[in-house]
Structure 1
Amino acid sequence: MPLIDSHCHFDFDAFSADREQVWDSCQQRGVQALVIPGVSIPQWRSLFAMVNAQAGWYGAAGVHPWWVSKLTLSPQQVFRAVVERVERERRQGAGCCVAVGECGLDGNIDLPLEQQLPVFEAQLEAANTLSLPVIVHSVRAHNEVIRALKKTGVKKAGVIHAFTGSREIAEEYIKLGFYLGVGGSITYERAAKTRRTLAGVPLEHLLLESDAPDMPHAGHQGERNSPEYLPAVAETLAVLRQVPVENIVAQTGKNTQALFDL
């Protein structure tokens, strides 16, 4: 079973100079597929041009909460934009649009959650209309995200990207059918709560991710993260769960394929 990076911003400028070389290195290290989320409507065109041209790369159409303040569209117009982009990709027959997202709520930015929420809910409704999973960004907003997920009744569930939180919060998401994204944060010993949580929840609900170029691993703060380093996430999770790394790779790969219908 190959390693699959379920969340990687590989289209970002941080990889412009050496994207091909990094992808070659990924494959040599066993990383055979990437899911690249959308972050803003203007980005979708270049994102899907990229993923449609490369086997093993998949995209998603979404508006990240960091880009919500730049929107000139209403939530209903965002809903239509997501639906139209996904339907356009489907008509082309490439099969590379596998989710709605990255969307969600972020309590660390200046824009109040109340202003982020209508755009998030519009994208959840788009996912329901399209029967696609959602890639959810949740930072200091788990209770609000859970309420929104329950309100919209997400049909295809999705993944809580870069999950950090308690066992209780993890179980709330799992009850809703969601997977939890496991990334470089578990390489930090100080992330004790997250490490305990991800060591204990069912492996059937975990995905591996890099979030590259962000979320660098312990000892590499300030450096560009890369999907090349995904094996280290798998190895760390294996140590925390006291199982062979092959078990981690096999089950998380199966989970990712099932969620995104790869």
Structure 2
Amino acid sequence: MCLFDTHCHLDLMVQKGIGIDTALQQARKAGVERIIVPGVDANNWNLIQQYAHEHPMVEWAMGIHPWFVSAESRDQLELMKIRLDQGEDCIAIGECGLDFYHGKDEQRLQIEVLTEQLKLAQRYELPVLFHVRKAHQELLQLLKQYPLPKGGVLHGFTGSYELGMQYIKQGLYIGVGGSITYERARKTRDAVARLPLDKLILETDSPDMPLYGYQGEPNQPKFVKNVLSSFILLRNEPEQTITLMIEKSSKLLFKL
């Protein structure tokens, strides 16, 4: 069994005092073969690229997270384009997206910055790692305007079956994380039980999104195995079918 943690902020784990060598060693023991570390803005791109160069199981993505959108983002977009032109070895664009949870004061700038990243994903044929809160309709509209040749993943999914299918119809995979380990998350658990198996992949979002039973502790990529266990209980397919399909989908999306 080869597991993929398709969304893990290793740099933030280190800030919380979790050594990267220890975290990766424990992940390998849990069957994790690959870990994808998203970028959040230009300030962490070099660090996570270094992680990928030093650790064969780590891959990295280059993006501007909506939380970090600012007046400097236009310059960072230009830097991203330059690096991609030079043949950067990132495997995806992201983490990027829209987040209107605290209101829509920066809505125009967030949409502008995301749109430019979608154009880069189109131009360089890379998948995209999406973050979205309180902005699903706006994101879906952008996906219709800027269809992605290599698709992407809606990270940290906590929505309904109907919402998940809307994203799948736009060519995205659904990122399933620790939320399904909570019995109270009935809407999400029902969605994950019913969505097409070949459009679902696993993640932890470490060090955030702790699993049930580990509240108050930093999340870690080794816990993707626990996410898988909960996932298997929600599905009707045989365990081997599930594990093989998730592995196949992760490799297909990120060309690993």
Across the two proteins, how many residue pairs are aligned to each other? 254
SS in 2 for 1:4: strand
Residue 163 of structure 1: aligned partner: 157
Residue 176 of structure 2: aligned partner: 182
Match 1:215 to one of 205, 209, 213: 209
How many Å separate the matches in 2 of 1:154 and 1:144?
16
Residue 60 of structure 2: aligned partner: 59
Q: Is the 8 A contact 1:210 1:229 kept in 2?
A: yes
CA, structure 1 residues 126+241, in 2 after alignment: closer, same or farther (shift >3 Å)? same
CA, structure 1 residues 42+191, in 2 after alignment: closer, same or farther (shift >3 Å)? same
SS in 1 for 2:150: coil
1:105 maps to 2:98: yes
> Where do 4+ consecutive residues of structure 1 move more than 6 Å?
none
Over the matched positions of the two proteins, sequence identity in percent amounts to 38
Residue 83 of structure 1: aligned partner: 81
Output the amino acid matched with 1:103. Answer: C
What TM-score, normalized by structure 1, do the two folds share? 0.91
Match 2:129 to one of 122, 130, 135: 135
How many Å separate the matches in 1 of 2:219 and 2:188?
20
Q: Is the 8 A contact 2:148 2:171 kept in 1?
A: no
> Which range moved further: 236-245 or 130-139?
236-245
Q: How big is the shift at 1:89? A: 4.8
Residue 21 of structure 2: aligned partner: 20
Alignment of 1:205-244 (within 5 A): 205-244=199-238
Residue 248 of structure 1: aligned partner: 242
Output the amino acid matched with 2:96. Answer: C
Output the amino acid matched with 1:100. Answer: I
How many Å separate the matches in 2 of 1:133 and 1:143?
20
Q: How big is the shift at 1:46? A: 1.2
How many Å separate the matches in 1 of 2:128 and 2:176?
16
Output the amino acid matched with 1:31. Answer: V
Q: How big is the shift at 1:37? A: 0.5
**For 1:35-93, what per-residue CA distance to the aligned partner results, in whole angstroms no more than 9, with x for missing partners?**
10000112111111111121111000000111113x4243xx44432222234454xxx
**For 1:88-127, what per-residue CA distance to the aligned partner results, in whole angstroms no more than 9, with x for missing partners?**
454xxxx4x1000000011223553333111111111111
> Which range moved further: 203-212 or 9-18?
9-18
CA, structure 1 residues 73+107, in 2 after alignment: closer, same or farther (shift >3 Å)? closer
CA, structure 1 residues 89+43, in 2 after alignment: closer, same or farther (shift >3 Å)? farther
How many Å separate the matches in 2 of 1:86 and 1:206?
28
What TM-score, normalized by structure 2, do the two folds share? 0.94
**For 1:174-230, what per-residue CA distance to the aligned partner results, in whole angstroms no more than 9, with x for missing partners?**
111110000001111111101100100111001100000000011222210000111
How many Å separate the matches in 2 of 1:42 and 1:88?
19
Residue 39 of structure 1: aligned partner: 40
Match 2:144 to one of 132, 143, 150: 150
How many Å separate the matches in 2 of 1:28 and 1:73?
39
How many Å separate the matches in 1 of 2:238 and 2:84?
38
**For 1:128-178, what per-residue CA distance to the aligned partner results, in whole angstroms no more than 9, with x for missing partners?**
111101000011211111011111122211000011111111111111111
Output the amino acid matched with 2:72. Answer: T
How many Å separate the matches in 2 of 1:17 and 1:197?
33
How many Å separate the matches in 2 of 1:231 and 1:246?
14
CA, structure 1 residues 168+219, in 2 after alignment: closer, same or farther (shift >3 Å)? same
What are structure 2's unaligned runs of at least 5 residues? none
> Which range moved further: 239-248 or 29-38?
239-248
What are structure 1's unaligned runs of at least 5 residues? none
SS in 1 for 2:11: coil
